[in-house]
Amino acid sequence: MRTNRQFLPIVSVLGEVAPPRMRTPYRVGFDGVPRVVASTGGITYNARVGDPALGWVGDHVEPGVSTKAADEGANLAYNVFSCVGNRAVVVSGEAKGARGVVTGTHGGIEHVLIDFPPEVLENLAIGDKVQVRACGQGLAMEEFSGVQVMNCDPDLLEKWGITVSAGRLQVPVVAAVPAELMGSGIGSVAAHSGDYDITTQDRALLREHGLQGLRFGDIVAVRDRASFFGRHYSRGAIEIGVVVHSDSMISGHGPGVTTLLTAKGGEIEPRLDPGANIANYLGIRKIQGGS
């Protein structure tokens, strides 16, 4: 599988550990119940890539470290250019020199999520600066012009275990999500940053499609959805992405998916693999299949 990776620039982008923010103490769920729970931002010490994405007493919980650049323009570049699998290094504070890896981007709050080893988290503080070696936007597979790659480090693409059979890409995923379960994020003008959510209000449908055991870092297929120039319904299309944040009790929300691949012409065939998690591919930690 030939790519154009040798022509992709590697550039530095800089963020800092972002504080949690609130507009109101309460989040009103789809069931009409107001709850006060932890949500986005900061350092989440006990949630990491490979851990369950559902079941937390929280809302849109971001595993690992949530980061953001100082101003709006810089943060847009930070979110667009940072790709899943990019290497990151702490450049200020007590954890200076510690290395991590980008695990996704979260739209709305516009965070770049980064995994660091647990011992590093203890030395990090809100405001510490993190520099990312950004590379991946513009990555393309030469034999598959109908497939758009986005938000994906070239090393992740090569380690993913994608094969070619009968002219189609066989892409490992833990599960396939039907189009009707996708919610917040549909209609975004671009999918080169952020995510969109697998809605979880219909638990029976989640069980039917084997989604109740989703983990942070799981790679999933989304059927009949395309993200070439924004996210939309398209019969027969397919999208492949990675689960980046936790479930939510808010209507139309749930575990977020950052897009990695999309195609409309049948070029991609998802192949079920319970170990299809970026924790395994990027050497973050070894996990077994759980979905």
How much is the pLDDT for 289? Answer: 66
Buried b (16+ CB within 10 A) or exposed e, 187-209: ebeebbbbbbbbbbbeeeebeeb
Contact (CB, 8 A) for 39 and 20: yes
Look at residues 227, 264, 284, 288 and name the one whose alpha carbon lies nearest to residue 49.
284
Residue 141 lies in a domain: no
Residues 152 and 255 in one domain: yes
Question: Counting beta carbons within 10 angstroms of the beta carbon of residue 156, is it exposed (0 to 12), middle (13 to 18) or buried (19 or more)?
Answer: buried
Could you say which of 87, 105, 134 is where a domain stops? 134
- How do residues 43-78 score in pLDDT, each as one tens digit? 999 999 999 999 999 999 999 999 999 999 999 999
Whether 290 is in a domain gets the answer no
For residue 33, the 8-state DSSP code is -
Q: Assess if residue 47 is contained within a domain.
A: yes
Q: How many domains, in total, are found in the chain?
A: 2
First to last CA, the chain: 28
Residue 291 has what pLDDT? 44
- Does residue 90 share a domain with residue 127? yes
pTM of the predicted protein model = 0.95
Q: What is the CATH number of the domain that holds 78?
A: 2.40.10.170
Residue numbers of the domain that contains 199:
147-281
Regarding whether 153 and 61 lie in a shared domain, the answer is no
Q: Are residues 85 and 179 both part of a single domain? A: no
pLDDT given at position 287:
87
Verify that 130 and 152 share a domain, yes or no.
Answer: no
> Which residue matches tokens 């570049």?
77
Q: Is residue 57 part of a domain?
A: yes
The verdict on 96 and 202 lying in the same domain is no
In a domain, 288, yes or no: no
* Cα–Cα dist 136/153, whole Å: 5
- Same domain for 174 and 105: no
167: number of Cβ within 10 Å: 9
Contact 177, 223 (CB under 8 A): yes
The segments of the chain whose pLDDT lies below 70 read 289-291
Residue 8 is encoded by which pair of tokens?
């992709």
Q: Write out the H or E segment, with its range, that includes residue 13.
A: strand 11-17
